[in-house]
Amino acid sequence: MDWYSSIGEMLKWFIKDVRNKTIKETAMAMGINYTTFSEQLKNNTLSAETLLRLAAYLDIDLNWMLLVLGYHGVVGAIDREMIPRMSTEFRETEKKRVLKRLDTLIKENPTSTPDTRRELLREFSKNMFYLLDVLVPEEYNLYIISERGKVKYYVDIPKSFEEHNSQYVMRRKSVNVLYEGSKALDILIEERKEKL
C-alpha cells in the first residue's frame, strides 16, 4: 500500500478510510478553505499548527504516523499495518451514531446478517476499518493488510490456548486468532441482534 508514502497522502487516507470523513468536512472543521487544504495535502505543506489541530480533530497518534512514515528508520510490516485505535471518548461519540443506524438495519433485515452488514457498509461509505474501530472492543488490535493489491481488514482476538485446542494440557497460554473484517462485523451484528 502506498497510503503512507507522504504525509499528505497518509492524511487523506486517514481522513477518508480511518475516520470516515471527507476532505471538505475536515477543511471546514479546521477553518481552512477547501481548495487551500487540498493543496496543502497534495503538496505536503501543512503547518505544524494545522497538523496538531488535525491530530486533535481526527484522534491521530502522531508517534505512529512518524513511525509509519519512516522517521524512526525502517518500519516492519506489522508496525505499518497495525493502526492505532480511536480514543475511548472519540469512539463513544461515533458509536452512538453507528449503533443507531445498525439497530434500524437489523430491524429491516432480521434474518440476514450478511444483508445487514452490506447495508451498514453502504451507509458508511464502505468504510470497513471505521466500522470495526467503532464496534470492536478497544482491547483488540485491528490490522489493514494489502494482499495482491486488495486491502483486507483483520481483527486480532486473543483466545486462551485451552479454548483454541482443548486436547493440550497447557493452560493460560494465549493464541491470537485473526478474523477477517466481514466475519468480525457479522459476529458483532449477531451479538447486537441478541441485545435487541
pTM: 0.73
Is 91:134 a contact under the CB 8 Å cutoff?
yes
Q: What are the tens digits of pLDDT across the range 34-43?
A: 999 999 999 9
Cα 41 vs. chain centroid, distance in angstroms?
A: 21
Paired with 144 in beta bridges are 153
Which of 61, 79, 82 shows the shortest CA–CA distance to 153? Answer: 82
Decide which of 8 and 145 is more confident. Answer: 8
Q: Which residues of 115-129 are buried (b: 16+ CB within 10 A; e: fewer)?
A: ebbbbbbeebeebbb
Cα angle, residue 61 at apex, residues 60 and 65 outer, rounded to 5°: 95
pLDDT at 23 over 60: yes
Taking alpha carbons only, the member of 72, 85, 69, 51 closest to residue 4 is 69
Over residues 52-108, the pLDDT tens digits come to: 999 999 998 888 887 777 776 665 655 556 677 888 888 898 999 999 999 999 999
